[in-house]
Chain A
Amino acid sequence: MKRYSIFSLVRNAVSHHKDWPKAWRSPDPKAEYDVVIVGGGGHGLATAYYLAKNHGITNVAVIEKGWLGGGNTGRNTTIIRSNYLWDESAHLYEHSLKLYEGLSQELNYNIMLSQRGVLNLAHNQHDLRELSRRISANRLNGIDSEFLTPADIKNMVPLMDVSPEARYPVMGASLQKRGGVARHDAVAWGYARAADDRGVDIIQQCEVTGILREGGAVTGVETTRGTIKAKKVALAVAGHTSMLAQMADVRLPITSHPLQAMVSEPVKPALDCVVMSNAVHGYISQSDRGEMVMGAGIDTMTGYTQRGALPVVEELQRAIVCLFPSFSRLRLMRQWGGIVDTCPDASPIVSKTPVGGLYVNGGWGTGGFKATPGSGWVYAHTIARDEAHELNAPFALERFTTGALIDEHGAAAVAH
């Protein structure tokens, strides 16, 4: 791999940037791979990268029906944090955050991780109680987490309305300083380039239409570009997880909903951290380009159209204008939707399945971008060893039978 740096930039400037190599190849699919990963989003690409790097498995294809990173990876609002309530989640997301902290250097691709801090607001006694519960748990789990008073919040976010007269006054917040945002496309592209460099075939414009099995184990996939044999097939298709699993007659407790996000026109810096609120339902951060990036809850109807309905936009804007009365005069520039895969307990599934050699990574719902490196890491382990890593063992499919759910609804504030 030709390394990227300021020096390579200068060198290439001399040759008018004509000699940059391809970030990744566009190979034709081979007849057979050791592992076929379905889905070229961040999770699939990270999995391929760690399969090659951590486990030396390089005869791997990532099969993507559209363009890599074009699913939720390229549509999300990029909030990264690890201040989850339950130990199981906290350990997994914290592992992911740690990987994020070195990812630009690891991949030699600037993913623009911006640890500008994530605020979760409390608006009533119940919120405050839950907040201190989570802060206490985070602290004992070694995750940075602190309580801010309304005055602290005002200092940090001067344009926020923290007055006691507000309809739902801001009564406090938790702050994770190491939380923040990153550039979503760069995460997908960086993993793609690094995985490709280690020999992984990334095959775009190729849709998996069937999962081939023999005697209770997978043998490959059927695709729009022909049959591809594989010893192991690993799903990483987010909103389409239940559809793909169905192809192997595996039923999953996952429902798919549109989740919308939207941006304002770009303005000069006016908000330096990520703000999330549950009671005044919405979250917001400002991108490096200057846009206010905003989101809220899912569209309640299930569906696969990657767009949403107007009422959700209205609800979100009410919340944002409530929290930031001056942003009322900014203008909304673009709104879009992705399809999120939600589990009954709002936690993901990273697991083996009843079908031999078939693995599933899904159910990340509204919050899996922050998990991308960690998810790839443990999923690669699970595929390579045919057994879960200790971090994803609790996230096995069996939990829906045993009842050992990891319910993050109550404590996850807004779902990101």
Chain B
Amino acid sequence: MTRQANRLGTDLVAGARIDRSKSIWFTFNGRRYEGHEGDTLASALVANDVQLVARSFKYHRPRGFFGAGAEDPCVMVQVGVGAETLPNLRATQVELYDGLVADSVNAWPSVNHDVGIVNDLMSRLLPAGFYYKTFMWPASWWTTYEHVIRNAAGMGVAPKQPDPDTYDHMHIHCDVLIVGGGPSGLAAALAAGRTGARVIIVDEQSEMGGSILASRLLVDDKPGAEWLASALAELGAMEEVRVMPRTTAFGHYDHNHMGLLERRTDHLGPGHDIARQRMWKVRAGQVIHAGGAIERSLVFAGNDRPGVMLASAAATYVNRWAARPGQKTVIFTNNDSAYGVAADLADAGISVQAIVDLRVEPGAAALEEASARNIEVLTASCVVETRGKRAVEGVTVMKLNDAGDGVVVGERRFDCGLVAVSGGWSPAVHLHCHAGGKVDYDEIQGCFVPGKTLEAARSVGAANGQLDLADCLTAGWQAGTNAAADTGFRKPGKVPKGPTATAVEVSPPRHVWIIPAKPGEENKVKRFVDLQNDVTDADVRLAAREGYRSVEHLKRYTTLGMGTDQGKTSNIPGLGILAAELEKSLPDVGTTTFRPPYTAITMGAIAGRYTGQMLEPVRRSPMHHWHENHGAAFEDVGQWKRPWYYPQDGEDMHAAVARECLAARNAIGILDATTLGKIDIQGPDASEFLNRIYTNAWSKLAVGRCRYGLMLSEDGMVMDDGVTSCISDNRYLMTTTSGNAASVMGWLEEWLQTEWPDLKVWCNSISEYWATLTISGPFARDLLAELCSDIDVSNDGLPFMSWREGTVAGAPARVFRISFTGEVSFEINVPASHGLGLWQALMTAGEKYGITPYGTEAMHVLRAEKGYIIVGQETDGTMTPYDLDMDWIVSKKKPDFIGKRSLGRADFLRDDRKQLVGLFTEDPLEVLPEGAQIVDDPNAPIPMPMIGHVTSSYLSANLGRSIALAVVKGGINRKGETVHLPLENGRTVRAEITGMVFYDPQGERLNG
């Protein structure tokens, strides 16, 4: 094989953007090829004469290069292997690197011999939407059908190992963000940059320049490349200007929030230790959309054969990469732009057989370019068929009638390997539309152009429907100047002139949405609109005939534009055909919605670093390492890691928890309660605020006293609970459950900010500031007294539900006499930095008392023994205070509190509401599964009426039996009755309804 048989020499293409001195070797479908630095995978394959690259989605028809960039619908490849593999990359956007390995996707066994082609043979049976009409019988077979369909669908293969790469997020503000580094974008950047504004200009390609990179036109009377170099040099020297190639603006969100994706290592291949990609989140003062226009194809018979290519793509392969996409060429166009392509190809030594133009009168300048090169121009003509097996070998051309819906007899046949097609241009209005921008239809160009937008944004150049280079430069310059001015940046003095080019007169295009086939062959040929999803003009017309007349129905029924290219080249032709079929105008049928992202973006890049272990920060108490060193098993509680239990010497969980529970009642238990939410509430209206937030009364709580409170949501349901203490006049410390700390803080702020802005109250979350250590048990007071000399910790000095400030083991402390175990218990709060020291001091001094650390599991058991609820376990958003048998905490006197109004509703007064009770199983060692449903009649048929469920259930070592809390319909009045629990294993357990307080019902131990 000759190396790079289709690489054009410097004699033919002088200014190509490749470095011919640098060879890059890569593998495609198992064969090694050579390319050059600056090549894309596509340009290198073109240079190596590889035409068959992919297979289409539905019919598995051969597909070759159709575009040269983001617009290409076909050439998806799998790049890389193992954990690094990337499915569905567009070969036209893959930059070449040494050792790159790529393969075709969706073809089996190979892209050259793909058995999926049987779909093509059956295509008559598989029109648009065929699957809605069949596979229904017999009903049970759908699973099988679906299995086959699923395996046939999809494109590339997802990697199976975790992604080895990392991704970063960047946040930035700028005055002017310019999307697109072509002539209009660069002119805008120069204009805005010179005012001193902070400018960001991005381009998705490997280098800035856009159409200049593939054009031979002059800018400022210089070759494009020269002007480009000087423009980039100037921008590079501007301190406030950031030039970002390889960066795609993927989404324009409300308020000029722009999403950018920067590719940092993809062009280097795997194995780099910097972040592979970065997502930039930009807040831009002004946005300039200068993302260019996308060429469309024409819908003619056989237009999907490899070798049929967009004219602009053909010129790009030649001019930018010196790669020859074909030897003999026919140009097929409806507008003047393809004449320039004809000239470019001819000057590069490619034999242009003819220019087939739909129009009767092409532009004068265009015709001149053709005649200067002796290229035959066939006006009012069209390509009626392409010939060839896997690739184009020739075309047939006939005259088009005046209406454009039929041909006139007499055909011309040409041999050619390349058909360069231009069906006109569609501005890339995508980003403009993302944030709700509207589009207007341009009758002459046959395309949608940007209309109204609510954003501080404007579109210029080809993205705005301006196709002439001179216009683009002028418009870009002006947009840059104006956008900068709108953000407050103006260059003093006379406004200088921007870059210029020579304007060219063009004739308007002619729009014929379906190119007629040879007479008598209308029903035999296939004319493709969407090359990836195999949607033909017949499919579009069928959909319209069947009543799928809205563009959205059309899209969904035929899958037009639903592929990975999102219809960049196919949407407008599809709309044109639909409009014709419905006898409506194209703007009347409208367009489908443009949605982010502009081109597909890596999911890992959107996630950034905030995934895996960093999904959410792990929160640890200051004593965490002590717990670790002492063998604690941890459980996740919200973001916290809390010690669950501390197994010793091969203990299982059950044994450890039993030991911990016994210690807390017979010696001293110590608990790390740091995770409790703590909110410092201050201000002259603080007590009034608490009155409204909690169900009970707060006005009379004295300094130094603590009170338990219950919070309801507006619907009267229990939302959170905790103890709040009066710290000083107008100052309170609220505690919340660990899991609700943040949401309660948000709740308080919401009420203060939106409903009661008149209250003078300020809330501050201080959860992390304090470490909280709870000691509990008969010797807890003795231990505390040993370590604390400045507080009288006696029952009189520090009575239940009070607190004092003092020093414990040398640390400044707030000591709260409150209890969640029913024992004498102290919650000692010290600044977090003292937490570990105090913990160690307590452990040392407490050793003689048998102090034992206990975890959350023992805490749960101990409080359940006392019938104390846990919000979120005994409650689930449907429990009222009455359901919990806590009528005592609901003030009858207060004029109002959140939830009060709801408490009076009829349903709250039913006596068969689910109410909290205790359960004793018949077998005292039977531990009910939490969540088990409770029934009255276990023999009732399914659906079996359920009367409640078990909320908490444990084996209590202190009581020597199992205990459970449960909610049961009307349970408070059913004590002593037996209920049934049908378990998952088929067994039914019987239990007796009891009170909730299983241990020390008189509460004598509280005061020791």
Contacts and interface: CB of A to CB of B under 8 A. Distances in A.
Contacts of A6: 134, 137
Nearest to A139: B984
A123 interface: yes
B254 to A, nearest CB: 7
Interface of B: 83-88, 124-125, 127, 130-137, 139, 142-143, 146, 149-151, 153-163, 165, 167, 251, 253-254, 257, 259, 281, 434-436, 523, 538, 542, 545-550, 552-553, 556-557, 559, 562, 564, 566, 593, 595-597, 600-604, 606-608, 610-616, 618, 635-637, 714-717, 739, 872-873, 876-878, 902, 905-908, 929-933, 935, 942-944, 946, 949, 982-984
27 contacts: A5-B136, A25-B547, A90-B943, A102-B139, A104-B139, A109-B133, A126-B872, A129-B930, A133-B931, A133-B949, A135-B931, A136-B931, A140-B946, A142-B942, A168-B615, A190-B132, A288-B149, A290-B154, A307-B435, A309-B254, A318-B607, A321-B611, A322-B611, A328-B165, A330-B158, A333-B564, A335-B596
Of the four ranges (under 10, 10 to 19, 20 to 34, 35 or more), the interface on chain A belongs to: 35 or more
A142 B943 contact: yes
A19 to B, nearest CB: 9
Contact of A136 (B86, B167, B557, B933): B933
Contact of A137 (B84, B538, B949): B949
Contact of A87 (B130, B143, B612, B946): B946
A70 B550 contact: yes
B904 to A, nearest CB: 9
A403 B906 contact: yes
A407 interface: yes
B271 to A, nearest CB: 15
B915 to A, nearest CB: 15
Interface string A322-354: 100111111111111000000011000000000
A310 interface: yes
Contact of B157 (A16, A17, A123, A268): A268
A26 B603 contact: no
B878 A265 contact: no
Contact of A267 (B157, B566, B616, B716): B157
Contacts of A267: 87-88, 154-158
A136 B984 contact: yes
B883 to A, nearest CB: 12
Interface stretch (A110-118, A220-228, A239-247): A110-118
Interface string A366-407: 000000000000000000000000000000000101111101
A335 B595 contact: yes
Contacts of B257: 309-310
A148 interface: no
Contact of B715 (A147, A290, A403): A403
Leading 7 A-B pairs by shortest Cβ distance: A290-B154, A328-B604, A133-B931, A403-B905, A328-B163, A325-B162, A331-B600
A269 B603 contact: no
A159 B160 contact: yes
Interface in A85-141: 87, 90-91, 102, 104-105, 108-110, 112-115, 123-126, 129-137, 139-141
Given A333-B566, A334-B566, A132 B125 contact: no
A24 B281 CA distance: 46
Contact of B984 (A22, A135, A317, A325): A135
A344 B715 contact: yes
B153 A289 contact: yes
A135 B254 CA distance: 42
Nearest to B166: A328
Contact of B600 (A129, A333, A399): A333
Given A159-B160, A167-B618, A318-B615, A137 B601 contact: no
A134 B607 CA distance: 31
A358 interface: no
A157 interface: no
A124 B644 CA distance: 12
A265 B88 contact: yes
Contact of A204 (B83, B550, B636, B902): B550
A125 B635 contact: yes
A74 interface: yes
Given A141-B943, A329-B85, A290 B125 contact: no
Given A270-B158, A310-B281, A407-B717, A87 B943 contact: yes
Nearest to B932: A136
A317 B606 contact: yes
Interface stretch (A7-15, A28-36, A44-52, A207-215): A7-15
A310 B251 contact: yes
A411 B715 CA distance: 17
Nearest to B638: A124
The listed residue with most B CB atoms (<10 A of its CB), out of A26, A109, A309, A325, is: A325
A98 to B, nearest CB: 13
A124 B550 CA distance: 47
A320 interface: yes
Contacts of B637: 124
Nearest to A161: B162
A337 to B, nearest CB: 9
A403 B139 contact: no
Interface in A268-293: 268-270, 280, 286, 288-290
B125 A327 contact: no
Contact of B615 (A167, A268, A332): A167
Contact of A22 (B546, B872, B906): B546
Nearest to A398: B906
A17 B153 contact: no
B931 A129 contact: yes
B338 to A, nearest CB: 31
Given A24-B547, A136-B931, A321-B607, A124 B635 contact: yes
Contacts of B593: 336
Contacts of B610: 314, 318
A109 B88 CA distance: 32
A57 interface: no
Contacts of B908: 403
A132 to B, nearest CB: 4
Contacts of B146: 112, 114, 288
Contacts of B929: 132, 136
Nearest to A7: B134
Nearest to B151: A269
A300 to B, nearest CB: 11
Given A126-B873, A269-B150, A310 B155 contact: no
Nearest to B940: A140
Contacts of B931: 129-136
A189 B307 CA distance: 39
Given A91-B943, A124-B637, A268-B154, A70 B546 contact: no
Nearest to A168: B636
A331 B603 contact: yes
Nearest to A108: B136
Given A124-B637, A265-B564, A317 B615 contact: no
Contact of B546 (A20, A288, A289): A20
Contact of A266 (B83, B137, B155, B984): B155
Contacts of B606: 313-314, 317, 332
A140 B935 contact: yes
A175 interface: no
Contacts of A330: 87, 158, 602-603
Nearest to A123: B636
Nearest to B933: A136
A181 B125 CA distance: 26
B155 A265 contact: yes
